[in-house]
Chain A
Amino acid sequence: MSYNVYNVYMHFPVLAIMTLFVGAFCVTLAGKHEKVRNVIAGCAVLISFTLLALLVKPVMIDGNIITYWMGNWEPVEGYAIGIAIEVDALSLFFGLLITIAVACSCFYSYQYMKQDDARGSYFTLYLMLSGGVLGIVLSGDLFNIYVMLEVMTFAAVGLTAFRTWNPNAREAAFKYLVVGSIGSTCALLGTALVYAQCHTLNLAQISAILPGNLNPTTILAFALLFAGFGCKSFMFPFHPIAADAHGAAPSSVSVLISGVFTKTGVYGIIRVCYFLFRSMGLTSVQTMLVFIGCLSMFVCVTMALNQHDFKRLLAFHSISQIGYILTSLGLCTALGIAGGLYHAINHTLFKGLLFLTAGSVLYATGTTYLEKLGGLARKMPQTTALFLIGAFSISGIPPFNGFYSKWIIYQATFEKAAGGSIGYALVTVVCVVTSVLTLASFIKVGHSVFFGQANPELGNVKDPPLGMRVPMWILATLCVLTGLFPDLMLRYIIGPATAAVLNSVGYIDAAMGAGYAEAHLADPSLLAAPQLISIGAWQPASWLVLFVIVLLAVFLCSLLSRGNSARGLESDAKHAVFFGGERAEYSHISGGDLFWGFKHNLRGYLGFMSRVHTGVTNDYVLWGVTATAVIIAYCFVTM
């Protein structure tokens, strides 16, 4: 592995970030010309994506780490005085998935936002949000990460409240602003404490100085940074604001908030736990992360079962999937990290797809309320197909991508349990149960939105225009491709990123000069990079053969039995006996009723969960502050 990088490539990360910001301001200059605004935004996201895609070869495949010092202010006598942009495989991995989601959502919103007025500032905020997110994952400087965090948060708040005529949107934006500021404050205080301890803000140098030097100040800094980034990833006690924000924001923005915004929190937690403090080796930190992940996973999926709004339901599922990622990253094994990162990219793809289908339903029908929808499959066939791809992916049905990443996560938790810590077997159980509940709630959505009887009020709905379908099909294709070629993904994308997570020595040496890590690292544990061994992966090819055989068999059976059964029965004839031959009345089985037996038996728990999600900002702030206090206390007791 060499750290010398070709000169041309070095400028790409900073250009990728700056293109988005310059695009944001050029959109403002374009003023009232809508076409110009769209072209500028499209060019900005495409250029940004291309620049990062060109980095795949040097960073992912050749294993270089790009260190770029702003204004050539390189480290002097072992002190990083300048601001660095440092791109290793982990940063590039997150950068790529961010730019893919941003590009798809951007093209989708050309048509989608046509229904709104005052669109002038939409792309400004949109590109600001994208640029902020990209700045976080590519930056090599702790304070710059904080600044970008703020840029990103305020742009996201502005976009949440974009439909200002909607009082829910204003309220959600307010909640988001207040609760999000807890996270920002924690991150800033943690950054300040780290700076006071290390006298530097460079991530690489902190990673060399800080590990092994745990004193009360650094423990407090760790807890605050953890809580701050956790708030940005909407982990368990911070999750209700996500649901409100997603429900109220335009769908193309929900893609960003769910698929992209939360990833910065995950990225921040990886950087803090694996690099800055290297505290991931401690059992207590692993337990904390896994515990929080499991709570997020389970609580949010049960909340999702209770929802009656398509987008709120998706929002809760989004946090549930973040729980998977956090759990998997908390295992601190190579397999666990690989599973978490794989699930991160899959989550961005299928959740983006699902939010865009929800947006299409909203675009066509004007509502996302499950009880008011129904039978859209016949009128919106493409949207239904896209939704099914997304739903199968998120529920972990085999040929789609969710299956493989969840499979790795089950394996990783089970491996951990087999390795002695038997409690992780319970984690595996929670993961599987959550997956089942995810499938259940998507059956509910599919039933009440796309299948079932058509709502007669929705007369002439049809598939959204081509401009909205193409980005959705791109995401759907990526969902299928990442599921069908897991070996390629593991070798070229996930593998290097996983190796980068465990290779903090390389990260330090790339920035500070070779040998710096050896000289300064006090605690050499975790230095050896564990091997990425999978105890058995699935073969998509053989599964496909099986699938085709079963499909042919079903087809053959139905073909053979076609002649002699169900002859003469009209479509509604089986109900005729109950209605005396009259035409069956419209009776919509509402989304809330499909699992009524299940929900009835769990009414104590579900009712309690509904009651505590009061929707009052004060309560959510109380949760957030309590969670921060608990995390701080836990870190002090156990670290």
Chain B
Amino acid sequence: MKKNWKRDDLIVRSLADSYLPIALILGFYVILHGNISPGGGFQGGVLAASGVLLLYLGYGFRGIATALNMERMHRLEAIGAIAYVLFAMLGIFAGYNFCRNILWNSGEIGDLWSAGTISLMNYAVGFKVLTGVGFLLLLIINLLSTEPGHEHDGTIPTTELEEGGDAE
């Protein structure tokens, strides 16, 4: 890579700006409609987590560092997993088996809200995958940013020339 290569962000950034909401909406759509359409928590979560990648493409590591907190994301993932188990345990508390749907008469078949506890578990899975895959992407981006040629503090110099970096 040439050292004086300057990244022209304008196109990438504006495309990332416009795709980020679409990715998130698509992801949440798939999570929400997990009980009545193909897909579900896992697929929707992965789609929504691609927002992290778009954010990185558009704004570089600094953008991610200001917008997202890795440690918090890691914990949110754990909360998602625990929430799944708790929703599954509702069945035991209600006197049935683990994973039992205890809100079964909720809405007509085909409605968005018609699957009771299963929907809640699905949302928990979606949340867990969104944060989990997002955390993985952040880890990978962190690894990228510690490669030689980047600034010492682990940030990727996307706008090196503008900031008067050490470009030759």
The distance in angstroms between the C-alpha atoms of A70 and B101, with both chains bound, is 10
Within 8 A of A (CB), among B74-129: 74-75, 77-79, 81-82, 85, 88-89, 91-92, 96-101
Contacts known (A21-B81, A21-B85, A26-B82); A11 close to B75, Cβ less than 8 A: no
CB-CB nearest in chain A for B92:
A11
The reply to whether B75 and A29 contact each other, CB–CB distance below 8 Å, is yes
Contacting residue for B97 out of A18, A21, A29, A71, CB 8 A = A71
Query: A16 → chain B, closest Cβ, in Å?
Result: 12
The reply to whether B97 and A28 contact each other, CB–CB distance below 8 Å, is no
Total interface residues on A, CB under 8 Å, equals: 17
Quick check: is A25 within 8 A (CB to CB) of the other chain? yes
Contacts known (A28-B78, A29-B75, A31-B71); A22 close to B98, Cβ less than 8 A: no
Query: A340 → chain B, closest Cβ, in Å?
Result: 32
Per-position contact with A for B45-82: 1 when CB-CB < 8 Å, else 0?
00000000000000000000000000100110111011
Per-position contact with B for A34-76: 1 when CB-CB < 8 Å, else 0?
0000000000000000000000000000000000111110000
The distance in angstroms between the C-alpha atoms of A31 and B88, with both chains bound, is 25
- With a cutoff of 8 Å between Cβ atoms, the chain B residues found around residue A11 in the complex are 92, 97-98
Query: B84 → chain A, closest Cβ, in Å?
Result: 9
Give the most central of A11, A26, A28, A71: most B CB within 10 Å.
A71
Chain A interface, >50% SS class: helix
Contacting residue for A18 out of B75, B79, B85, B101, CB 8 A = B85
Quick check: is A147 within 8 A (CB to CB) of the other chain? no
- With a cutoff of 8 Å between Cβ atoms, the chain A residues found around residue B99 in the complex are 70-71
Contacts known (A31-B71, A71-B91); A26 close to B97, Cβ less than 8 A: no
The reply to whether A71 and B78 contact each other, CB–CB distance below 8 Å, is no
Quick check: is A430 within 8 A (CB to CB) of the other chain? no
- With a cutoff of 8 Å between Cβ atoms, the chain B residues found around residue A15 in the complex are 92, 98
The reply to whether B77 and A28 contact each other, CB–CB distance below 8 Å, is yes
Contacting residue for A29 out of B79, B92, B101, CB 8 A = B79
The reply to whether A14 and B74 contact each other, CB–CB distance below 8 Å, is no
The distance in angstroms between the C-alpha atoms of A351 and B127, with both chains bound, is 41
Contacts known (A22-B85, A28-B74, A31-B71); A14 close to B79, Cβ less than 8 A: no
Contacts known (A28-B74, A29-B75); A68 close to B97, Cβ less than 8 A: yes
- With a cutoff of 8 Å between Cβ atoms, the chain A residues found around residue B92 in the complex are 11, 15
The distance in angstroms between the C-alpha atoms of A28 and B85, with both chains bound, is 15
- With a cutoff of 8 Å between Cβ atoms, the chain A residues found around residue B77 in the complex are 25, 28
The distance in angstroms between the C-alpha atoms of A25 and B127, with both chains bound, is 14
- With a cutoff of 8 Å between Cβ atoms, the chain A residues found around residue B74 in the complex are 28
Query: B31 → chain A, closest Cβ, in Å?
Result: 20
Query: A76 → chain B, closest Cβ, in Å?
Result: 16
- With a cutoff of 8 Å between Cβ atoms, the chain A residues found around residue B85 in the complex are 18, 21-22
Query: B76 → chain A, closest Cβ, in Å?
Result: 10
The reply to whether B81 and A71 contact each other, CB–CB distance below 8 Å, is no
Query: A332 → chain B, closest Cβ, in Å?
Result: 35
Contacts known (A31-B71, A71-B91, A72-B96); A25 close to B101, Cβ less than 8 A: no
The reply to whether A71 and B101 contact each other, CB–CB distance below 8 Å, is yes
Contacts known (A11-B92, A31-B71, A71-B91); A25 close to B81, Cβ less than 8 A: yes
The distance in angstroms between the C-alpha atoms of A68 and B92, with both chains bound, is 12
Give the most central of A10, A22, A31: most B CB within 10 Å.
A22
- With a cutoff of 8 Å between Cβ atoms, the chain B residues found around residue A71 in the complex are 91, 96-101
The distance in angstroms between the C-alpha atoms of A28 and B98, with both chains bound, is 24
The reply to whether B98 and A29 contact each other, CB–CB distance below 8 Å, is no
The reply to whether B98 and A14 contact each other, CB–CB distance below 8 Å, is yes
Contacts known (A18-B85, A31-B71, A71-B91); A26 close to B78, Cβ less than 8 A: yes
The distance in angstroms between the C-alpha atoms of A28 and B79, with both chains bound, is 9
The distance in angstroms between the C-alpha atoms of A25 and B76, with both chains bound, is 10
Query: B94 → chain A, closest Cβ, in Å?
Result: 11
- With a cutoff of 8 Å between Cβ atoms, the chain A residues found around residue B71 in the complex are 31
The distance in angstroms between the C-alpha atoms of A11 and B91, with both chains bound, is 11
- With a cutoff of 8 Å between Cβ atoms, the chain A residues found around residue B98 in the complex are 11, 14-15, 18, 68, 70-71
- With a cutoff of 8 Å between Cβ atoms, the chain A residues found around residue B79 in the complex are 25, 29
The distance in angstroms between the C-alpha atoms of A610 and B53, with both chains bound, is 48
Within 8 A of B (CB), among A455-508: none
CB-CB nearest in chain B for A13:
B98
Query: B82 → chain A, closest Cβ, in Å?
Result: 5
The distance in angstroms between the C-alpha atoms of A11 and B71, with both chains bound, is 34
- With a cutoff of 8 Å between Cβ atoms, the chain A residues found around residue B88 in the complex are 18
Query: B80 → chain A, closest Cβ, in Å?
Result: 9
The distance in angstroms between the C-alpha atoms of A18 and B100, with both chains bound, is 15
The distance in angstroms between the C-alpha atoms of A10 and B91, with both chains bound, is 13
- With a cutoff of 8 Å between Cβ atoms, the chain A residues found around residue B75 in the complex are 28-29, 31
Within 8 A of A (CB), among B117-153: none
Contacts known (A31-B75, A71-B101); A25 close to B96, Cβ less than 8 A: no
- With a cutoff of 8 Å between Cβ atoms, the chain A residues found around residue B96 in the complex are 71-72
- With a cutoff of 8 Å between Cβ atoms, the chain B residues found around residue A28 in the complex are 74-75, 77-78
- With a cutoff of 8 Å between Cβ atoms, the chain A residues found around residue B100 in the complex are 71-72
Query: B92 → chain A, closest Cβ, in Å?
Result: 6
Per-position contact with B for A1-28: 1 when CB-CB < 8 Å, else 0?
0000000001100110010011001101
The distance in angstroms between the C-alpha atoms of A14 and B89, with both chains bound, is 10
Within 8 A of B (CB), among A60-96: 68-72
B residues contacting A by CB (< 8 A) are: 71, 74-75, 77-79, 81-82, 85, 88-89, 91-92, 96-101
Given contacts A11-B97, A14-B98, 16 further A-B contacts (CB under 8 A): A11-B98, A15-B98, A18-B88, A25-B77, A28-B74, A28-B77, A29-B78, A29-B79, A31-B71, A31-B75, A70-B99, A71-B91, A71-B97, A71-B101, A72-B91, A72-B96
Which 4 residue pairs across A and B have the least CB separation, nearest first?
A25-B78, A28-B78, A71-B99, A70-B99
Subset of 8 A-B contacts with CB under 8 Å: A11-B92, A11-B98, A15-B92, A22-B81, A25-B79, A28-B75, A29-B78, A72-B97
